[in-house]
């Protein structure tokens, strides 16, 4: 009879995600990850033989799944484009706690010149987001090339607002960005 898990994969990943989001990859020590999850370091290595690097990659994989379940469907359904962007803003607002949390894709990105598996996962998620928003922009009447630009601008504003909100300790920057977001993608 094998010992029962103290914590299931889903919950484990959520707690790891929270720490990484809070302090970033480098500052997330195994000690802090252990404390946050309630699993001793040796147990974490049992669940993630690849250590911290693997934990980060599974966190990214889980994030992608959450997007696939909650965000991408909202952008791909049959609703009119303005409805999609309203849903997008709502989901994004919740996802980043109204500008009070950092972006995983940012804080987990390895330094330039040290690209690895994480980098690929991150670039791929950015690309998925860009593609989904591009579709919405095209649905709103933008020609293909312009739709790409609009989607890119939306992601740029989204992530820039998170940086400024944190750097200026002012989440209202994020809120104002949210009001601009739909218009950026929908403008024809």
Binding site for DNA (CB under 7 A): 2-7, 28-32, 38-43, 45-47, 49, 51-53
Between CA 108 and CA 17 the distance in angstroms is 10
Per CB under 8 A, the segment of 35-43, 53-61, 112-120, 133-141 that binds a copy of itself is: 112-120
Which of 125, 171, 67, 94 shows the shortest CA–CA distance to 163?
Answer: 171
Q: 36: closest CA among 59, 61, 57, 18?
A: 18
Which span sits near a copy of itself by CB under 8 A: 10-18, 61-69, 72-80, 108-116?
A: 108-116
Residue 39 site contact among DNA, a copy of itself, none (CB < 5 to 8 Å, cut-off depends on kind): DNA
Among 33, 67, 161, 185, binds a copy of itself (CB under 8 A): 161
Q: How far is the CB of 24 from a copy of itself (least distance, A)?
A: 7
Among 43, 54, 119, 146, indicate the residue that binds a copy of itself (CB under 8 A).
119
Answer whether 20's CB lies under 8 Å from 108's CB: yes
Per-residue binding letters, 26-45, with a copy of itself (x by CB under 8 A): xx------------------
CB atoms within 10 A of CB 18: 14
Closest separation in Å from C-beta 65 to a copy of itself: 19
For CA atoms 36, 42, 45, 51, give the dihedral sign. positive
Conformational region of residue 172, where left means phi above 0, alpha means psi within -120 to 50, and beta covers everything else: alpha
């Amino acid at each position: 009879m094998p010992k029962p898990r103290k914590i299931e994969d889903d919950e484990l990943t959520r707690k790891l995600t929270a720490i990484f989001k809070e302090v970033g990859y480098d500052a997330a020590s195994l000690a802090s990850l252990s404390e946050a999850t309630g699993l001793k370091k040796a147990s974490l290595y049992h669940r993630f033989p690849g250590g911290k690097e693997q934990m980060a990659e599974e966190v990214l994989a889980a994030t992608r799944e959450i997007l696939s379940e909650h965000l991408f469907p909202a952008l791909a359904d049959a609703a009119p484009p303005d409805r999609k962007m309203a849903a997008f803003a709502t989901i994004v607002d919740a996802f980043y706690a109204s500008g009070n949390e950092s972006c995983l894709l940012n804080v987990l990105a390895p330094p330039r010149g040290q690209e690895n598996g994480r980098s690929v996962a991150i670039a791929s998620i950015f690309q998925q987001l860009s593609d989904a928003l591009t579709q919405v922009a095209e649905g709103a009447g933008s020609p293909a090339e312009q739709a790409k630009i609009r989607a890119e601008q939306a992601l740029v504003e989204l992530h820039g607002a998170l940086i400024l909100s944190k750097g200026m300790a002012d989440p209202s920057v994020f809120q104002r960005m949210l009001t601009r977001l739909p218009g950026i993608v929908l403008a024809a």
